[in-house]
Amino acid sequence: MKSETRHIFGRILKDIQVEMSDEFDQNFEREAFFSEAWQRRKSPLRPGGHILVDTGRLRGSIQSRTTENSITFFTTEPYAAIHNEGGEIVVTQRMKKYFWHKYYEATGSFGRKKDGSRRNDKRTVQLSDEAEFWKFMALKKAGTSIKIPRRRFLGTSPEVEQAVRAIIEENLNGYLEEAINFEIKEK
């Protein structure tokens, strides 16, 4: 009986693992933590792009680990916690150098007319906005803070609890039906 209970519990954990992995992945499509919408981006970078999806590394890094009686969802990306929980990042000299690098990279990509002035096409205007953003970031003083809004993609919520409860009930009802049908067939 004990191994049968362990088997049922393992099946429930596996179903929860599969379902919640899919739901946490879908948070990136929804751009929300279930019904809690993520704050929109204020920077002009990647207009129209998905929030928290640049290379896809963060989204693809979500993993889960099961033990005999639990499931843990996690990510190994070092920047995941600041996005999931929100917080502040202190600007360093190294960051300022990176911001200047990105500024020069953006300004070098401007479309130019034959006389050397910038074109006024859509791409150049977009690059101009991007360059202004990087310049703004580069001019921040070292020691000041950048506020990162909370954009949860992993964690508990009423929706997670409801989904887990539904999976448990579905599995237990299925097991009870099997047990009753087995007992009826034996008699």
Q: pLDDT (tens digit, 9 = 90+) per residue, 79-101?
A: 999 999 999 999 999 999 999 89
Alpha-carbon distance values, 47 to 14, 42, 93, 102, 163 (Å): 38, 10, 27, 17, 34
Three-state secondary-structure class, residue 20: helix
Residue ranges of the chain with pLDDT lower than 50? 1
CB-based contacts of 166, cutoff 8 Å, min separation 6: none
Distances (CA, A) of 159 to 13, 120, 154, 155, 156: 17, 48, 12, 10, 8
- What is the SS3 assignment for 72-102? EEECCCCCHHHHHHCEEEECCHHHHHHHHHH
How does pLDDT run across 4-16, given as a tens digit for each residue? Answer: 778 888 889 999 9
- Cβ-count burial of 104 within 10 angstroms (0-12 exposed, 13-18 middle, 19+ buried)? middle
- Residue 123: per-residue pLDDT: 62
